[in-house]
Amino acid sequence: MLIKAGDNVVVISGGDSVKEDDGTRKIRSVIRVDRERGKVLVEGVNMVWKHVRRSQKYPQGGRLKKEMPIDISNVQFYCTSCTKGVRLGVRFLEDGSKERFCRKCGTTTGKIAPARPLHAKK
């Protein structure tokens, strides 16, 4: 799972994979990633009504709209240089640190592990 919280993603399947007028899919931001269950919480996707009872926190009670997690296989990372949803890969750099990269164009999307002398190229 190479998607992290804060990444921009494109929903590729399900009810929220609606395309815009120009044929592209909507770009959303990841709020949280649940690695154990393989789910992601994406901003504005899979909205449900939650019925809440009156309490001190919600004195009025009523219905709230909130996001629910979707499967991580239903989203793709959005590459800004390719301007579309792409797959991510992992590679080791010269100093032995790991980074994520776009498999389509090869641009770096950030480091994910610190340098290790074992993986450094000599």
pLDDT in tens, 64-108: 999 999 999 999 999 999 888 999 999 998 888 999 999 999 999
Output the pLDDT for position 1.
78
Residue 2 lies in a domain: no
Q: Is residue 58 part of a domain?
A: no
The pTM for the full model equals 0.82
Q: How many helices (H) and strands (E) does the chain have?
A: 0, 11
pLDDT score recorded for residue 17: 83
pLDDT at 122 over 80: no
Residue 79 domain-assigned?
A: yes
How many domains does the structure of the chain reveal? 1
Cβ neighbours for 44, distance < 8 A, ≥ 6 positions apart: 28, 67
